[in-house]
Every structure is written in C-alpha cells, then in structure tokens.
Amino acid sequence: METSGNKSLAKKILCVIVTLLPMAIYMVVYMPVFFWVESLEPAGGFHIIHTSIDDMIPVVEAFIVPYVLWLPYLVAGMIAIAIKSRKISRKTSYMLMTGMSLFIVVSLVYPNALELRAAIPGRENIFIDWISYLHAIDTPTDVLPSLHVYNAIVVAGGLYLAFPEKKVLLAASDLLTLLIILSTVFIKQHSIIDVIAGIVLFIPVFIIICFVIKPLKKPEETAQRAE
C-alpha cells in the first residue's frame, strides 16, 4: 500500500517536473541552434575579444573545479527553486531563456572569438589536463557574453528570491557563483569583457522579468495579506 509520505514525495517530484518542463523544452530546441551557430564561419571573420587586463590575469588551473561545477550548480539550484516556488522558478527560467536567446543573437550579429589559450602553461598536473580537454572540445568562438557568468548569476538571484531567509545557503551560493565567474578568466575560457557583458546583461533582464512583468510580491507583502 502506498503511504501518504510516498504520495507527497511523488506529488512534489511531479510538480518539479511540470514547473521545469518549459525550460527543458527550450533546451531541446536551443542546443541544436547553439551547435549550428558554433559551426558557422562568418565571411568577415571573427571579432577578437581582448584587453590588456586579460594579459595580466595568470592561469590558475585549480579554477577548473568551480568551472565544471557550473552545470551541477544550475541543475541543483533550479530544482531547489522549483520545489520552493513555482512562480519564482518560472521567472528564473524566463531569465535563463532570455539571456541564452540574446546570446545567440549576439553571436550571429557580432561573431566573436578569443586568442587567450596560448597562455596555458606547459606544467603537468590533473587540472591542466582537464583544461586541455575542455579546450579540445569547446571552441574559442562565440564567447560574448559569458553564459557561464550570466546563468550562474541568474540562478543565484533565483535562490535569493526563493530562500531569502536561508543565509547559509545564500552565502554558499554567492561563494560558488563568485568562483565560477573568476574561473572563466583564470582558465582562459573568457575575456574580462565577456564577464562584464554577462553581468551587465543580467541587470535589466532581472529587473524587467522579476519586477516589471507581473512583479513578484515581497515576502512582507505576502505575510500582510495573509493576516
């Protein structure tokens, strides 16, 4: 006989699946488009993204760890948000989809690339091996804005909206997000320009989606209505 606890768990899992379904469908469409854009060879060539600051940033290969934690962080964060609030989860999904769609537009209108990978040192260790493998499977094209930066900040923002009272959780999220952002430049996956562009893109998208289009209610407003 199925217990009430099992029914409750199954209901929560179903709710999470339904809540995240639009994002999952979007990814099914987005990934082929992304790889198609990556395969393009623009007639005018790529615009090289580079600043003198990039040359001053050393390679710190240990940053490959937070870099690869990006995807687990996004998945775990989105599931946690979906469990807590369907509305906030959808807002977070809309922010992710908006940024990723704009990334495709930028890549088509302004084809861009990096020439930073020559800076990877010749020393041998497991982290350098990971970076070499990453560079082998990921082209240095279409890097502006950095989706590693943008998506990490979006999920961090969603966690703030969903769990404003969970200070330890938010502190851990902030730390990991910061390490992910830093990792993009310390393993030469992105220019500082890509990082700034990702941060700048997040600000208007966050404001418009969360506080202009069907704005989210503040926790204190919800409490007052319940009284």
Distance between CA atoms of 216 and 219, rounded to whole angstroms?
A: 9
Residue 42 lies in a domain: no
Residue 222 lies in a domain: yes
CA distances from 205 to 41, 87, 183 (A): 30, 16, 23
Q: What is the pLDDT of residues 20-46, one digit of tens each?
A: 899 999 999 999 999 999 999 998 899
- Domain limits for position 170: 4-36+50-226
* pLDDT, averaged across the chain: 89
**pTM to 2 decimal places:** 0.90
Rg (CA), the chain: 20
Residue 45 lies in a domain: no
Residue 186 lies in a domain: yes
- Number of folded domains that form the chain: 1
Q: What is the pLDDT of residues 184-198, one digit of tens each?
A: 999 999 999 999 999
Q: What is the pLDDT of residues 87-123, one digit of tens each?
A: 999 999 999 999 999 999 999 999 999 998 876 777 8
Residues 6+ apart with CB under 8 A from 95: 154, 157, 158, 202, 205, 206, 209, 210
More confident residue, 135 or 74: 74
pLDDT at 194 (0 to 100) = 97
